[in-house]
Amino acid sequence: MKFKTFTLAASIAVIATTVAAHKGATGVLLERMQAMLAMGKATKAVAPMMRGQIDYDADQTRAYAAVLQTHSGEAMLALFPDGLNAKPSVAKDNVWTDWEEFSDLANDLAMYAAALDLASENGLGEAVPAVDSLMGGDTVDLMGGAVEVEQTAQTLASLPVNTLFAQSAQVCSACHSKFREEE
């Protein structure tokens, strides 16, 4: 009998924990977190190919680009309606005070998603150091004074897929650094 009680209590505890993990994350908040997780999962899955550890497959790149396209740009911004923030979402409130920068990053990701799709047949190339990819490649870049060149998906589409993948990940990281609460 005691064992049964224990089992029941344990089951309730498990259910309670499961509910707690999603508690608060309903509706848009839940969608927001799921969108981020979907991109992370896709990134993890495609990373070995992007690094040349397994054979390159352009279909995989297009599928990955599609996941990013689904969750970036306007689609991402729609998941951050004015000031909507609560735990367990880890968005910082400056998403809304620095909205222009946040939306630029969301749109940059959409641009890279489009570029990855266009460039899928390019395959992998030589790893391009960040200096060169900043256009110009002189020390002005190294010291932080580079003039930003306006990029489009079309101009980016000439780059090797692994370079685009690395740069798109850097967009994720830049956005997380500025707008995500760290544990």
Partner 1 sequence: MRKIAMGLLALTVAGVGGIMALRLFPVAAPVTPITLVGDVASGGYLARASGCIACHTDVKGGGRPLAGGTGFETQFGTVYAPNLTTDVEYGIGDWTIEDFAKAVRQGLSPDDIPYYPVFTYAFYQDFTDQQIADLWAAFQTVGSVNEPAPKTDLGFPFSERAGLKLWRAAFMYAPRTSPVLGQSDAWNRGRELVEGATHCAACHTDRNIAGGRKVNTGRMQGNNALPGGSKAPAITSAALAAAGWDLDNLSYALQTGITPTGDAFGGSMGEVVQMGTKFLTEEDRIAMATYLMDQSDD
At 105 the three-state DSSP class reads: helix
Instruction: Give residues 83-122 in contact with partner 1 (rule: CB under 8 A).
Output: none
- The backbone torsions φ and ψ at residue 91, rounded to the nearest 5 degrees and listed phi first, read -70, 140
What mask of x and - would describe binding to partner 1 in positions 3 to 42, judged by CB under 8 A?
-------------------------------------xxx
Name every residue whose Cβ is closer than 8 Å to that of residue 47 and which is 6 or more positions away in sequence. 165
Does residue 47 interact with partner 1 by CB under 8 A? yes
Instruction: Say if residues 160 and 122 touch (Cβ distance below 8 Å).
Output: yes
Instruction: Say if residues 140 and 146 touch (Cβ distance below 8 Å).
Output: yes
CB of 11 to partner 1, least distance (A): 29
At 140 the three-state DSSP class reads: helix
CB of 95 to partner 1, least distance (A): 13
Task: Candidates 60-68, 73-81, 110-118, 127-135: pick the segment binding partner 1 (CB under 8 A).
Answer: 127-135
Q: Which is nearer to partner 1, 14 or 52 (CB)?
A: 52
How many residues make up the chain in this entry? 183
Which one, of 134, 149, 159, 68, lies nearest residue 107 by Cα?
A: 68
Does residue 45 interact with partner 1 by CB under 8 A? yes
In the chain, count of helices (H) and strands (E)? 10, 0
Does residue 43 interact with partner 1 by CB under 8 A? yes
Out of 2, 59, 129, 147, the only residue in the binding site for partner 1 (CB under 8 A) is 129
Task: Candidates 26-34, 69-77, 133-141, 148-156: pick the segment binding partner 1 (CB under 8 A).
Answer: 133-141
Which one, of 172, 179, 177, 176, lies nearest residue 71 by Cα?
A: 172
Does residue 145 interact with partner 1 by CB under 8 A? yes
Q: Which residues bind partner 1 (CB under 8 A)?
A: 40-45, 47, 51, 127, 129-131, 138-145, 165-166, 169-170, 172-174, 176-178, 180, 182-183
